């Protein structure tokens, strides 16, 4: 957990970057003392993950603890999120620190005693649930940061707002959630936040190392749904219909050509991933429709807009070349700046 303790220190330093004085002398000791509790929290959340917009127990657990610190706690926010406010003993800016709290529909196979055994319903399927993206660590880091900063309250300039955001992985269909809903409900307005800081753990970075860069670091996350409309036929007579599965295969290939042949990757990376494809009910019947969903990751605002247009054009052109039609919907929450 050395790496986690270093990240706690980093998040604290972000929040107090306006200090014109040295840190309190007991700062390092406070970080060291919170480590056993941080480990315990992380294992608790890891063993008890919850999906997006369903983080009921997670949000309550966080809220209950922050209240013991004497913070001003707002819960629930954006369905299951938590906002807590710490007012320092000295004048200064309002700085927000943010962590995400939801897990993923992934079955855990890690041989540890605190491995998740949780299952849930997701998109009509029974799935395993686990903190496969590290949000259990993010929650614990921010809770530990809250504890340490509260102990340093009299020396703290300004105000710190702790944001525990639900549904970072995306709210279920037809539901609001995540950062947009927290902002809509005023999480950054009472008090008005001057700057927000966050972090993300990374297993590929050596222990004791903190990675950063200028410009965009974490990519935008857009979601797309592509519906291909063909014409049903018997599998033995494909010429009698329009095969949406065949067209979908060409579309998937075409999407990758956008990345490798149409985008200037010397400016910034682009990723297009198809995560699901569903069609048909029987092996010898060509179905009428196929549907695929996926994600788009970009680090540049202009490239983000461009790749959206190229996806729409590519999908519709490939579908038309097969005699099919296609509908493209791209869900964009935030544009990169």
Return the pLDDT at 20: 46
Selection from 3-12, 64-73, 207-216, 324-333 with the highest mean pLDDT: 64-73
Same domain, 39 and 171: yes
Tell whether 108 is covered by a domain.
yes
Give tens-digit pLDDT for 277-330. 999 999 999 999 999 999 999 999 999 999 999 999 999 999 999 999 999 999
Tell whether 214 is covered by a domain.
no
Same domain, 162 and 102: yes
Tell whether 205 is covered by a domain.
no
Which residue range(s) make up the domain with 169? Answer: 2-198
The predicted model gives 67-80 an average pLDDT of 98
Residue 173: pLDDT band (50, 70, 90) is: confident
What are the CA-CA distances from residue 300 to residues 116, 125, 264, 309, 310 (Å)? 36, 35, 11, 15, 15
- Dist CA 73 CA 85 (whole Å): 7
227 neighbors 251 (Cβ within 8 angstroms): no
Tell whether 94 is covered by a domain.
yes
Give tens-digit pLDDT for 106-130. 999 999 999 999 999 998 899 999 9
The predicted model gives 251-273 an average pLDDT of 97
- Dist CA 163 CA 81 (whole Å): 8
What domain count does the chain have?
A: 2
Same domain, 175 and 30: yes
Return the pLDDT at 211: 86
82 neighbors 67 (Cβ within 8 angstroms): no
Q: What is the full DSSP assignment across 105-167?
A: S------STT----EEEETTEEEE-B-TTSHHHHHHHHHHHHHHHHHTGGG-EEEEEEEEES-
Tell whether 143 is covered by a domain.
yes
Same domain, 152 and 122: yes
pTM attached to this predicted model? 0.85
- Dist CA 76 CA 82 (whole Å): 6
Same domain, 176 and 313: no
- Domain with 296 in it: what CATH number? 3.30.70.360
Tell whether 204 is covered by a domain.
no
Tell whether 40 is covered by a domain.
yes
* Phi and psi angles of residue 25, each rounded to the nearest 5 degrees, phi first: -60, -30
Percent of the chain, pLDDT > 70? 92
Same domain, 182 and 285: no
């Amino acid at each position: 957990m050395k790496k986690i303790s270093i990240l706690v220190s980093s998040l604290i330093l972000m929040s107090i970057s306006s200090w014109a004085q040295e840190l309190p002398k007991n700062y390092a000791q406070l970080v060291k003392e919170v480590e056993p509790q941080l480990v315990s929290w992380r294992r608790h959340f890891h063993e008890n993950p919850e999906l997006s917009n369903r983080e009921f127990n997670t949000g309550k657990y966080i809220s209950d603890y922050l209240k013991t610190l004497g913070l001003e706690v707002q819960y629930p926010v954006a369905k299951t999120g938590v906002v807590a406010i710490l007012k320092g003993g000295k004048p200064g800016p309002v700085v927000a620190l943010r962590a995400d709290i939801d897990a993923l529909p992934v079955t855990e196979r890690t041989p540890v005693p605190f491995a998740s055994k949780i299952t849930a319903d997701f998109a009509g399927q029974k799935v395993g649930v686990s903190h496969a993206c590290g949000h259990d660590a993010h929650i614990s880091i921010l809770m530990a940061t809250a504890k340490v900063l509260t102990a340093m309250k009299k020396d703290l300039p300004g105000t710190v707002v702790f944001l525990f955001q639900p549904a970072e992985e995306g709210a279920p269909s037809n539901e609001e959630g995540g950062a947009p809903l927290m902002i809509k409900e005023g999480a950054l307005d009472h008090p008005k936040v001057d700057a927000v800081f966050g972090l993300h753990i990374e297993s590929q970075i050596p222990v004791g190392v903190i990675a950063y860069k200028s410009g965009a670091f974490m990519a935008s996350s857009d979601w797309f749904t592509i519906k291909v409309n063909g014409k049903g036929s018997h599998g033995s007579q494909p010429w009698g219909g329009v095969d949406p599965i065949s067209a979908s295969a060409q579309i998937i290939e075409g999407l990758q050509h956008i990345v490798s042949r149409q985008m200037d990757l010397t400016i910034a990376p682009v990723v297009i991933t198809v995560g699901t494809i569903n069609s048909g009910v029987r092996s010898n019947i060509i179905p009428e429709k196929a549907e695929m969903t996926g994600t788009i990751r970009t680090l540049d605002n202009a490239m983000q807009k461009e790749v959206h247009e190229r996806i729409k054009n590519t999908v519709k052109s490939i579908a038309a070349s097969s005699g099919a039609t296609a509908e493209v919907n791209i869900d964009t929450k935030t544009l990169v700046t």
